[in-house]
A and B are shown apart, each in its own frame.
Chain A
């Protein structure tokens, strides 16, 4: 018995001896296991369990190493050096804690100032309002394939915008970037096959919407937030059936298409649909705005009557007309005091190079009193027809208001000749300027006698009569439809001109404030001599000056 005890003690002593001798090795193994496990836990989602086991194993091995070298540790810590070392370690740990704490606080309480001249990274008032009102958590998953040079700029833009959204919403909106090739399962969940794309998902309802990138703007993200959280969308109908331009055709290569305009309206949080009245018979009740994108054929009498009745009943419409304007459209607008014809504007004062029939509207030609045109830069309106008011100014009834949007220059004239670019009064050419865009607010048609006046109410208009108040009919008329078509809409603020009009007619004035900010590209334009000076002075002047100073110092010290 005693011999057995002796043997057991001897075995234990032997194990103790081995473990004590191997304590350093055990400590290293334990440390590596601990760190490796932590790394797995942090980076490899699939191996998190393995990582946890590795960390536990590492901690156990470290503990064993500590127990079996406790004497050495005690000796090291008990000495003066040990005490200093512990003191130093504690100070470093405390200081690290303070640094981490400060960074944590600053990360969650960020103040950002956008010092770019055009406030490229500042959010519009409408966006901040939407984010402030966001009650449901929304998470955006941005699927971008890394290192694809074509996507780099959009990825940066998406990151910039979503970071600002996240910060402003106090993390009610959050986002992450996912590599769809590295993690294909995530993309499959949403059935995505085209990248980059951003999926917005409302956390409570589970509803998800997908935004294809590019293009990408603040406006797109705001719209997605509104859609995913179930905000009621107004519906804009593009009228078809009379040779109008196609807003549903999503081919941006079609120069006559309205793909960009259609997408722009969608991005402004509206739903978009087409309306062929001959097919459906009635104008849908949910129509917020009807858009007539360049009708070239007459409408039927039934259609005419429906549109006429709809407008007289407080309808809201946008007419983009090209000369010669179809008779039915002219007749439809006549009661509202608008006269359209077959003339074209020729404008030598401001037009596209070698194209006098393509007026180039510039800063001084816009009416800055209305939000539609307040922030526009330049707009091209090829082959536009003048929009004239058939009522003399002093005879405009109190229930009608005309808001001109933009004019041709004083040097312009209108002509019925489709080719000539020379002014010929004998032909009937008349000197301008002419309106090329106009908004009519009316409580009734011009000819009728009603006891109603139109008044400004905030940013909109109201019809005031003895019976009370109601909304007036609002019609925006443009003397051209091409400016909003695919061929010309990317030019400067062409598309904004159209979209602002949609927002204005639909009384969504705030949307106008989140048009993509004009990117002020500050190009460095230099002559070859100037470039040579910049090049050689940058290459040699500064290094040579510093080199000479170095030689001077060496010479003095020599």
Chain B
């Protein structure tokens, strides 16, 4: 029976925080001291920059970020696998995952630490896209409500995509295979929204309910809906849980 006193809980939480942060810090440093994060981030910014300019190159352009925000959900289908594919696959290939698992670090601390690291990359990249908003504020009068919800939506969408990528990375020691698996899963979860449009009744509702992109529309229009927030948080929790269980299974497989 573990120590369940307040002090015990505090010590447990402190050690969890310390271990998770250690993993997060190590991963973040790895990303930022290698060119990979910059290249992937640069490509993302080049695509969003192109989309942003395209959206305002029309006859009566609207001072809005929807022009790059809406298609960026499709960009994430490629971006998330690229950023997550090495996270656990490389550890498995190099054999360092066994080292981690035999160290006094819990499985969920490994997963949460790595997830936090890729979320940090995502946030850092999205912070740079605020440049587009700055341009709109300088030269126009954008509605800030949809911009705010749009960013919240893209963070949640990105988080959900990264959690799927993390699971794929835990399934194999081959980074390419991990990328393909997460790409396929993301594509499927994005396309279910289109499938919902060609069906009706319960099936349409179910497909729309599980679709990653279907829950994003409200955010980009300026609506904050608790159902959408719960959905993305659920997807993140579900895939992170599966990742933890998958890593744990290495102990008895």
Contacts and interface: CB of A to CB of B under 8 A. Distances in A.
Interface of A: 42-43, 45, 80-81, 84-85, 88, 91-92, 95-96, 99, 102-103, 106-107, 109-117, 120-121, 146, 160, 176-179, 182-183, 520-526, 530-531, 534-535, 537-543, 545-547, 549-551, 553-554, 557
Contacts of B49: 538-540, 542-543
A518 to B, nearest CB: 13
B234 A96 contact: no
Nearest to A82: B252
A520 B231 contact: no
Given A115-B224, A121-B223, A530-B139, A176 B41 contact: no
Interface string B237-251: 110011001001100
B143 interface: yes
A538 B52 contact: yes
B230 interface: yes
5 contacts: A43-B199, A85-B252, A88-B248, A95-B241, A112-B218
Contacts of B149: 115
Interface residues of B, number: 68
B139 A550 contact: no
B108 interface: no
Contacts of B209: 103, 107
B45 A542 contact: yes
A553 B52 CA distance: 28
A164 to B, nearest CB: 10
B222 A116 contact: yes
A95 B238 contact: yes
A121 B224 CA distance: 11
A409 B104 CA distance: 82
A550 B38 CA distance: 5
A111 B252 CA distance: 44
A80 B129 CA distance: 51
A522 B64 contact: yes
Nearest to B235: A99
A546 B135 contact: no
B120 interface: no
Task: Name the residue among A92, A115, A523 with the largest chain B CB count within 10 angstroms.
Answer: A115
B61 interface: yes
B197 interface: yes
Given A92-B242, A534-B139, A146 B197 contact: yes
Contacts of A178: 200
Given A81-B252, A103-B231, A114 B223 contact: yes
A557 B57 CA distance: 41
A553 B38 contact: yes
Interface stretch (B27-35, B93-101, B111-119, B178-186): B27-35
A534 B221 contact: no
A179 B198 CA distance: 8
A58 to B, nearest CB: 19
A546 B224 contact: no
Given A539-B53, A542-B46, A543-B45, 14 more contacts: A84-B252, A88-B249, A103-B227, A106-B226, A176-B204, A179-B198, A521-B60, A524-B62, A534-B56, A534-B135, A542-B45, A542-B49, A545-B128, A553-B35
A524 B234 contact: no
B245 A92 contact: yes
Interface of B: 32-35, 38-39, 41-43, 45-46, 49-50, 52-53, 56-57, 60-64, 128-129, 131-132, 135-136, 139-146, 148-149, 197-204, 206, 209, 218, 221-227, 230-231, 234, 237-238, 241-242, 245, 248-249, 252-253
Nearest to B217: A156
B223 A115 contact: yes
Given A534-B139, A546-B42, A117 B238 contact: no
B139 A106 contact: no
A143 to B, nearest CB: 11
Contacts of B249: 84-85, 88
B140 A99 contact: no
Given A45-B201, A107-B227, A553-B38, A121 B139 contact: no
Given A524-B62, A554-B35, A91 B226 contact: no
A534 B46 CA distance: 14
A81 B238 CA distance: 23
Contact of B50 (A114, A176, A539): A539
Contact of B61 (A43, A84, A96, A524): A524
B145 A116 contact: yes
A524 B140 contact: yes
A111 B32 CA distance: 39
A521 B165 CA distance: 38
A523 B248 contact: no
Contacts of B203: 42-43
Contact of A99 (B42, B56, B139, B237): B237
A542 B130 CA distance: 11
Contact of A538 (B53, B62, B63, B241): B53
A111 B145 CA distance: 17
A103 B38 contact: no
A553 B142 CA distance: 36
A84 B60 CA distance: 62
Contacts of A538: 49-50, 52-53, 131-132, 135
